Structures are given as structure tokens and as C-alpha cells.
Amino acid sequence: MKAPALGFRRLARDGAARRGRVTTAHGSFETPAFMPVGTAGTVKGLTPEQVAATGAEIILGNTYHLMLRPGAERVARLGGLHRFMNWPGPILTDSGGFQVMSLAELRKITDEGATFKSHIDGSRHELTPERAVEIQRLLGSDITMVLDECTPFPVEREDAEKSMELSMRWANRCKDAFEARPGYGLFGIVQGSVFEDLREKSAAALAGIGFDGYAVGGLAVGEGQATMLRVLDATVPALPEDRPRYLMGVGKPDDIVAAVRRGIDMFDCVLPTRSGRTGQAFTRRAVLNLRNARHQDDPRPLDPDCACPTCRDYSRAYLHYLFKAGEMLGPILLTLHNLSYYQELMAALRKPIEDGELDDFAAAFKKQQAEGDLPAL
């Protein structure tokens, strides 16, 4: 059976916010969507079946990590990333630009690409736009991301402009290297740091090249929410209306709500999984630290309004005990809850967009978050 073309269908709109559906070779996913991060071919602590049970329809993998271990060619020989990790749904792979940036002194950026030392064994590697696209094709990614230079923050305007222009040259080369196939797409990445005119210039350059979707990169790197939203206000209107829009690495719940109201369709972040491993739980009212002694005798669930297995079957007291005792079940149960919370949030955003009531939802969300956690027993 012929795979469907990668496409975006807008089903409803409320102001700038969109309710849509993206179709890929491995199925469709509803937007706004949150993608759990499976950097190295696994969402840490959970089986693919557990991840799917939270409501997740698409996950994220990473080119940098998978090229180093186990290697893209090996994954391809074993049937591609979907089969390798037993995830049948859509997969988006980040190109590795952010990870290369984080290597600092271990990397060198030229017009040709990035050379760097592996954080695993110190071996030297080169990642060019062409190689980044090739790796993602070998992995079998439904959505391939262009290689970009993720501009650090803070940065001088001149340096941000040079970095953005380099990313645009790389984006053009990625487009030339990408093998168009039904059900598979290539996303461009807007750069330009916190400078609105550079963001607009970058968005125009990418739209001129033509991509299946557009991401906004280089945010959530320390600039603060107000600045991030100002940049989005300048950037999102410059992106094509008929393609999905992806805000990379942004994942605080209030950031997601604010970005959806500005027309963003897709999100990813390590926050729910990393927080789950360190004892933090996201709830409708507050972020809880399960290591705190206030939970040790509390028989209540994390969130009485949550239907996930963790809230249904386990008490705060038990979760507190697991983390204090260093038992691996604690991070598993909290990760399961956090991802469930995020998927419930995305579903809760989609409905008011359909009904034209997103402003009311956002106000109620903000009010509930301000109320804080349940009173201690």
C-alpha cells in the first residue's frame, strides 16, 4: 500500500491557535502535539507500549546520539529505528545541532559542517548537512530536521546574524540532499537568537527554500519566557500558514499554552522525563517534589483529577518512599505520570480550539496553577 504524503490539515482555528493533523508514512498525529524525547532510541524508563498508553502519537530521536551509538548504518541493517526500538508510530529526529553546540571546546564549526569529538570515547566525527540528512534517512525518520547551528545565549547581534546565515546555507544544502518520498518530510529551522529582524529574515529564507514544516530553534536557552514569547510574536506570522510549526525544546506547561495561542503546533522537551527521574511531578495545580517529607504520610494520589496508572494505583506516601529508598520504580511511575499529564494537557488544548474557547481555557489553566498544591494533611 502506498504511504500517504506528509501533510498538514488544519481542522479548526481560534485566533492564531490551530487544531490540526499531520499525516506521515507511519500514521498521523493530532496537533497541538507534545513529543516525548527518546534521544537514544528509548524514552527513558518506559516501554514503547507505556509511552503510547499515555496518549503520545509521535516521539523524538536524536541524530547525534544515534550516529555515535549504535550507528545509523547498523540501525538501517536492523530494519530502521521504528523496528529497532519497537515504536510503530511517527518519529521525528533532531539533526544534532543543539548537541554539537553543547560540546563547546570539543567542536569546530566551518561552512562545510561541524567536526567534533564524541562525548563517549573521544573519537573524531564530521557532521555535514548532507551527512545529517543521510543519517536520518538511514534511521527511517518520518520527519527529518535540517542541520543548524544552535546559537548560544547571550550573543552579540553580529554573531547571531553570522550564525543564522550559516544555518540558512546549511538548510539549502539539506533540502538538496533530502530524498523526497511519500510520507516523509523535511523541516527547516528558524534561527536568529532574540533579534526579531533576524528571525523574520530567517523565516523568509526558509519559506523561499520550501519545507514540509518549520521549526523555531534556539529558544528556551536562558532568555526567559517574556523574551521567548516576543520572539514568537515576530516569527510565527512569517511562517507559511499551510505547514506545521514546531517549537524546539520548549516544555514548561505554561510555555506550551502560551505558544499554542501564538500558532505553534508541535513541542518536545526532556522536562517531563528528566523531572520524573529526579522526583518532580507535574500536576494541574503545582509541580511537586516527592522527596519532601510533607508527602511521607499522604495517602492521596499526586493529582486526584488524573486517570494515569500512577495516580490511580499509588499514593504520594508510596512514591515518596520509593525515591527516598532509591528504588527504580519511583522514576518509572513518575515519568509515566508526567508524560500522561503532558498528553492530557495537549488534548485539553485541542478541544477549546475546536470550540473557539481557548482564551477561557488559558485563563482557567492560569488560575488553577496559581492555586498551588492541595493543603497538607
Catalytic residue list: 94, 268
What amino acid occupies position 186? Answer: L
Backbone φ/ψ region at 249: left (φ over 0), alpha (ψ -120 to 50), beta: left
| Distance between CA atoms of residues 257 and 362, nearest Å | 7
Edge-to-edge strands, sheet with 27-31: 7-14, 17-24, 27-31
What amino acid occupies position 277? Answer: R
End-to-end Cα separation, the chain, in angstroms: 58
> Is the bond preceding 70 in cis, omega lying within 30 degrees of 0?
yes
Half-sphere exposure of 294 (CA within 13 A, CB side): 9
Question: Do residues 48 and 37 lie in contact, with contact meaning Cβ atoms separated by under 8 Å?
Answer: no
Residues 6+ apart with CB under 8 A from 48: 85, 86, 87
Residues 6+ apart with CB under 8 A from 82: 26, 88, 91, 140
10 Å CB burial of residue 62 (0-12, 13-18, 19+) is: buried
Angle formed at CA 86 by CA 82 and CA 92, multiple of 5 degrees: 35
**CA distances for 316 relative to 268, 289, 294, 310, angstroms:** 27, 10, 9, 10
